[in-house]
Amino acid sequence: MSELHPDVQEVLLSEDDIKEIVSRVGAEISRDYAGKNPLIVCVLRGAFVFTADLMRAITIPCAVDFMAVSSYGDGVVSSGVVRIVKDLDTHIEGRHVIIAEDILDSGLTLSYLINMLKARKPASIEIAAFTVKDTEGQGPAVKPRYVGTHVPDAFVVGYGLDLAERYRNLPYVGVLKPEAYANK
């Protein structure tokens, strides 16, 4: 077990928990997509850590490509309108696409992205979300086919998740101490 970062109040998912989650999702995808050579789409930046581990937990042939999007608006709450900062290099027409995400909150980012990618006529398009945030209300605007686990509605960091680009490198998922984000 890594030493706890001083800004982290509590570990939600240890390295072992993460390994277990990722191997389960990888096994599900390997079973469901046998013979389909799926394209894993990593939505930068947060999902790069999960994507790298997920790819290695998938035992069937698969490919990877990357997209970067940025939300319009104040950047704190998803506006639901996203701008493509980096598009895919792969043509997805006729491909089986799986979008890998680190965290699904409102789901607005992915809902927009999925509609945009559907216009390119993939054979199928699904979401593999490492975590889904439990919020009050009706839940995310999209329904992921694969869910790693749920996390509470708190400021979670690590395993790709950041606060102002910090903490992505923590090997576990933890809740930040309030004083760590109070003046951000």
List residues near ligand PRP by CB under 6 A: 43, 45-47, 71, 78, 101-109, 140, 162
Q: Give the integer Cα–Cα distance in Å for 49 and 80.
A: 24
Q: 111 — phi, psi (to 5°)?
A: -60, -45
Q: For this structure, is 87 an active site residue?
A: no
- With beta carbons less than 8 A apart as the criterion, state whether 172 and 151 touch: no
User: Are β-strands 8-13 and 173-176 bridged in parallel, bridged antiparallel, or unpaired?
Assistant: antiparallel
* Nearer Cβ to ligand PRP (31/118): 118
CB of 93: closest distance to ligand PRP in angstroms? 24
- With beta carbons less than 8 A apart as the criterion, state whether 85 and 62 touch: no
Looking up tokens 């990888």 gives 26
CB of 83: closest distance to ligand PRP in angstroms? 11
Distance of CA 84 to the CA centre of its chain: 17
CB of 31: closest distance to ligand PRP in angstroms? 26
- Residue number with the shortest CB distance to ligand PRP? 46
Catalytic residue, from 105, 134, 153, 162: name it: 105
Q: Is 140 exposed, middle or buried (0-12, 13-18, 19+ CB in 10 A)?
A: buried
Q: Give the integer Cα–Cα distance in Å for 14 and 17.
A: 5
* Nearer Cβ to ligand PRP (8/51): 51
CB of 84: closest distance to ligand PRP in angstroms? 13
User: Are β-strands 173-176 and 156-157 bridged in parallel, bridged antiparallel, or unpaired?
Assistant: antiparallel
* Nearer Cβ to ligand PRP (8/47): 47
* Nearer Cβ to ligand PRP (62/102): 102
